[in-house]
């Protein structure tokens, strides 16, 4: 049931992503969708150039198309974050072959400069586990908003079995450190993996 709902959400995400991205490109460089999966990252003006944001959005869509065509539920089970051609893959798959295939497909996309593979092998054994990860993700976003304010929108959080992956760009390493310390206090968090780029 959870997988079916997630699959429907993701299938609807691509056309919606393209529509919103095209509207945002025409209206304002200040906020453009650049990441996805279950959540989207809005990149604040000043963190990246509009050209870089457009390139990242193109890479994101091309990866999604590769995953959709590949089968193996790659599109459903793997989340991607794209920052300046740097790809963070997170999620759960059934075996090592699927994990390797996902990385191979990402490298086939033009503009990819680096692939960080944090895909885990296993599955969520219950709806309770999935709900726990969603709750942790919600708490992480709230902590980010409290710690770094409006700049929190430049961070992407993905939680897999109690492990929080953070991607984003910041110029304030001190606030990032403060946020990470606060994230460690969320109930159910067992690890923080930081892929934030310091500018």
pLDDT tens readout for residues 53-106: 789 999 999 999 999 998 878 888 899 999 889 999 999 888 899 999 999 999
- In three state form, how does the secondary structure of 45-75 look? ECCECHHHHHHHHHHHHHHHHHHHHHCCCHH
Structure tokens at 134: 């969603």
State how far the Cα of 1 lies from the Cα of 11, in Å rounded to an integer: 15
Which has the higher per-residue pLDDT, 3 or 96? 96
Domain boundary among the residues 121, 148, 176 is at 121
Q: How far apart are CA 105 and CA 111, in angstroms?
A: 13
The string of pLDDT tens digits covering residues 171-187 is: 889 999 999 999 999 99
Same domain, yes or no, for 187 and 115?
Answer: no
Centroid of chain to Cα 177: 20
pLDDT at 45 (0 to 100): 37
The values of phi and psi at residue 40, to 5°, are: -125, 150
Boundary-marking domain end, from 87, 121, 155:
121
Contacts of 164 (CB under 8 A, 6+ apart): 136, 137, 140, 157, 158, 183, 186, 189, 191, 192, 193
pTM over 0.75: no
Q: Which domain holds residue 54?
A: 2-121
Count up the domains in the chain and report the number.
2
């Amino acid at each position: 049931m959870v997988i079916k709902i997630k699959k429907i959400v993701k299938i609807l995400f691509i056309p919606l992503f393209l529509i919103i991205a095209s509207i945002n490109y025409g209206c304002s460089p200040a906020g453009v969708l650049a990441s996805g999966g279950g959540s989207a990252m809005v990149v604040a003006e000043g963190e990246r150039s509009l050209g870089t944001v457009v390139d990242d959005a193109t890479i994101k869509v091309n990866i999604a198309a590769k995953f959709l065509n590949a089968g193996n539920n790659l599109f459903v089970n793997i989340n991607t974050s794209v920052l300046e051609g740097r790809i963070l893959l997170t999620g759960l798959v059934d075996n090592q072959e699927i994990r390797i295939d996902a990385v191979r497909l990402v490298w086939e996309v033009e503009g990819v400069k680096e692939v960080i593979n944090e895909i885990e092998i296993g599955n969520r054994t219950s709806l309770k586990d999935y709900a726990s990860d969603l709750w942790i993700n919600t708490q992480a976003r709230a902590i980010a908003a409290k710690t770094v304010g409006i700049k929190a929108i430049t961070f992407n959080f993905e939680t897999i079995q109690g492990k929080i992956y953070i991607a984003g760009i910041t110029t304030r390493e001190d606030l990032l450190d403060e946020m990470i310390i606060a994230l460690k206090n969320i109930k159910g968090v067992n690890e923080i993996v930081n892929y934030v780029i310091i500018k």
